[in-house]
Structure 1
Amino acid sequence: MIIVTNKKTIVLFIVGVLAVLLVVSGFIFNRPLNTSEVMNNNPVAKPIDKGSVESKYIAFACNVDWGNEVLPDMLDTLKEKDVKITFFVTGRWAKTFPELFQSIIDEGHEIGSHGYQHLNYSTLDHEKNLDEIKRAENIIMEHTKEKPKYFAPPSGAYNQHTLHAAEELGYKTILWSIDTIDWRKGSTKDIIMKRVMDKEPFPGGIVLMHPMPETAKALPNLIDALREKGLEIGRITDILEE
C-alpha cells in the first residue's frame, strides 16, 4: 500500500491519472476505425456461384477483355439459337471498342461489370477496388443507361475489400459453377464441350466462358446439348430472380 502525505504530491498524482484516462479514452473512442475492423464488424454476402435449382435455366457468363474477332460469331450463334446471356465486360475494353460493345447491348444481352482492368483484385485495398468497379460502371452506363447489377472479378480473384466495395456500390459478386477453361492452350471445341457436360450441368448453374475461337465453335453444340437435358440457356438474372 502507498501512503501519500504531501498535498502537492496528491494533486500531481490525480492530474497524472486524469491525463492517462483522457489519452486512453481518446484513443478508444475517437480514433478512426481501419477498414479491416469495419469489415469484421460488417460481414458481406459470399460471392454467388449458382442460382436456384428450381430454375429452368442454366446461365452463361462470358467475360470480355479480349476476343474482338470472335464475338461477332458468338453473337450470331446466340441470335440464331434465340439465347440471351450475360456478358461481363471490362471498362477499358468497352471504352476501346464501343461499337462492338454496343452490338452486344443491341442484341439484348445482359451486361455485367468485369471491373475496369483485368487485375488481380485480391491484391487491391478497399479504395482501389472501389475505383476499379466505379470506373467500369461509368463507362458501361454511357452505353446502357442502366447500372449493372452484377460484378465478376477477373480470374475469380477477390478479397474482403472486393466484396465490400462491390456491395457498397450495389453489386452482387458473381463467380461460376462450371468453368470451360477455354483460355487454356489446347482447349478444342470437343474438350470445352466435355468440360461442361462432364460436370453434369444443373438448373441454376453458371457456365464461365470467354470469346475464344474454340468456344465460338463449341457454342452451337453446347446449347443444343444443354437443351436436350431440359435446360434453357439464359442470363444471371434468369437463375437468380425467377
Structure 2
Amino acid sequence: MYRKQLIHVIVFVIIVAISFQNSYNPFETNDVTTFSNEVQQVSKKEDALYREIQTKSAQFAKDPQNAVIDRVWKKTPGRNGLKVNVDKSYEQMKKKGTFDKTLLVYDEIAPEVTLADLPPAPIYRGHPEKQMTALMINVSWGTEYIPTILNVLKENNVKATFFIEGKWAKENSDFVKMIAEQGHVIGNHAYNHPDMAHLSKTEMTEQIQKTNDIIKAITGKAPTLFAPPSGSFNDQVVDVADEMDMETILWTVDTIDWQNPTVSVMVNRVSSKIHPGAMVLMHPTSPTAQGLDSLITVIKDKGYKLGTVDTLLSEER
C-alpha cells in the first residue's frame, strides 16, 4: 500500500514538472530580450551623453547636393549628404563617456538628382569637393609599357580606368584580360582612333558598338564609359554614347606624356594642376611607366584618394 502511494506521488510530481515546463512564461527567450532592449533604450536616451549627441547632430549634418549641368564643366555629379547616426555614435563614445566629434558615425543621404537624371553632356571631373582623383589611361599603342604600369598600380594598391581602343583590344586580348582581372575598370576608346567629331552618326555608332562587343567578348562585361580619341567630340557623339547608355568622359589634368617629357616635368605638371575631383589623362608611354610611382605618391601626399572614374563620379563621399 505504501509503495503504491509512493508511486502515485512520484507520477504526480513528474506531471506537475512537465506541465510547469511547458507553460507560457512571458519573461522567457524573445520576450526577455525585447524587454531588456526596451529598458536599455530608455536608459540610453536618458544618458546626458546621448542627449548631447542628439542636440549637436544638426551642426554636423550636410545636405545632399544634386548633379547639375555646369556652364563650364558640363555634367557634374552630385554628392551625398550626411546625417549623424545618434545610436551608433553613442555606442562609439559611451566607453569614453564624453562627446568626441571624431567618433561620430554618419549615414549618407542620396541627392534627388543624379548623373543618370541629367540630359546628355560630357563629363570632365568629379564633384569639386570630393577629395578623390582618378587616373584614366587611354590605350591604342604603347603595348610594351602596359606590364610596368600594371605592376606599379598593383604595388601602390591603386585602381585605374583604362580606355581601350577596340582594334588594340582585339590584337592584345591577353592584356585586356589582365587589366580586368587586376580590378581596373575598362572603358571604350572607339575602334581605330578616329576623329569622332567628323564621323556620320552611323560611323560613330559602329566605332563605339564594335569596341563594346570586342571588350565584352574578352572580359564578359561591356563598358559604360566612352573616352573620344584625342578628346574630339561634338554633341552628336555625346548623344550617340548616351543612346548606348554610356557617359562621355574627358579630363581636367593632362600629363602630356605623349610629348615625351622628362619624369620630373610630367610629375610637376600634375602636382601643380591636381584638384578635388580631377581626372588625370595619361597613356602607356615611357614617361608614364617610369614616373607613375612618383606621380601616385605626389597625389596621395596632397591628401587625395585615387579611384576609378566610376567611383569618382559616384555620389559617395
| Cα deviations by residue, 1:57-95 (Å, 9 ceiling, x for unpaired) | 200000000111101000000000000010000110000
Aligned to 1:208: 281
Contact 1:57 1:238 in 2 (8 A): no
> Is residue 47 from structure 1 mapped to residue 122 from structure 2 by the alignment?
yes
What residue number does 1:118 align with?
A: 193
Q: Confirm or deny that 1:135 pairs with 2:214.
A: no
- Contact kept in structure 1, 2:227 and 2:250, CA below 8 Å: yes
| 1:207 aligned counterpart, secondary structure | strand
Q: Deviations over 1:125-150 (max 9, x none)?
A: 11110110000000010122122110
Q: Secondary structure at the match of 2:222?
A: coil
Question: For 1:232 and 1:75, how far apart are their aligned partners in 2?
Answer: 18
Query: Does structure 2 retain, via aligned residues, the 8 Å contact 1:126–1:164?
Result: no
How many Å apart are 1:44 and its aligned residue? 4.7
User: Residue 62 of structure 1 aligns with which residue?
Assistant: 137
Counterparts of 1:110 and 1:85, CA distance in 2: 6
Matched, 1:148 2:217: no
Equivalent residue, structure 1, for 2:66: none
- Corresponding residue number in structure 2 for 1:195: 269
Distance change >3 Å, CA 44–CA 117, structure 1 → 2: farther
| Equivalent position SS for 1:87 | strand
Q: Are positions 1:175 and 2:261 aligned together? A: no
1:94 matches 2:169: yes
- Structure 1: distance between partners of 2:131 and 2:215: 29
Paired position in structure 1 for 2:304: 231
RMSD, matched Cα: 1.3
Counterpart of 1:183 in 2: which secondary structure?
Answer: helix
How far apart in 2 are the matches of 1:140 and 1:44?
Answer: 26
| Alignment length (residue pairs) | 198
> Counterpart of 2:291?
218
1:16-63 per-residue CA deviation (whole Å, 9 max, x = no partner) reads: xxxxxxxxxxxxxxxxxxxxxxxxxxx952210001123232000000
CA distance in 2, matches of 1:124, 1:161: 10
SS in 1 for 2:259: coil
Q: Contact between 1:84 and 1:235, CA under 8 Å: does it hold in 2? A: yes
Q: Supply the distance in 2 between the matched residues of 1:232 and 1:171 (Cα, whole angstroms).
A: 25
Rg larger for: 2
Residues 126-135 or 190-199, more deviating: 190-199
Question: 3-state DSSP class of the match of 1:49?
Answer: coil
Report the identity percentage.
39
- Counterpart position of 1:108: 183
Is there any run of 5+ residues in structure 1 with no aligned partner, and where? 1-42
Amino acid at match of 1:207: V
* 1:160-197 Cα deviation digits (max 9, x unpaired): 22111101111000000000110014x11111112211
Instruction: Give 4+ residue runs of structure 1 displaced > 6 Å after superposition.
Output: none
Q: Which ranges in structure 2 are unaligned for 5 or more consecutive residues?
A: 1-117
Q: Distance in 2 between matches of 1:184 and 1:112?
A: 23
What is the SS of the residue equivalent to 2:241? helix
In structure 2, distance between residues paired with 1:237 and 1:209: 17
Q: Distance in 1 between matches of 2:132 and 2:224?
A: 19
- CA distance in structure 1 between the aligned counterparts of 2:192 and 2:159, rounded to whole angstroms: 25
User: C-alpha separation between the residues in 2 aligned to 1:121 and 1:127?
Assistant: 11
The answer as to whether partners of 1:124 and 1:161 remain within 8 angstroms in 2 is no
Please give the alpha-carbon distance, in whole angstroms, between the structure 1 residues aligned to 2:264 and 2:141: 22
Find the aligned partners of 1:227 and 1:173 in 2 and give their Cα distance: 26
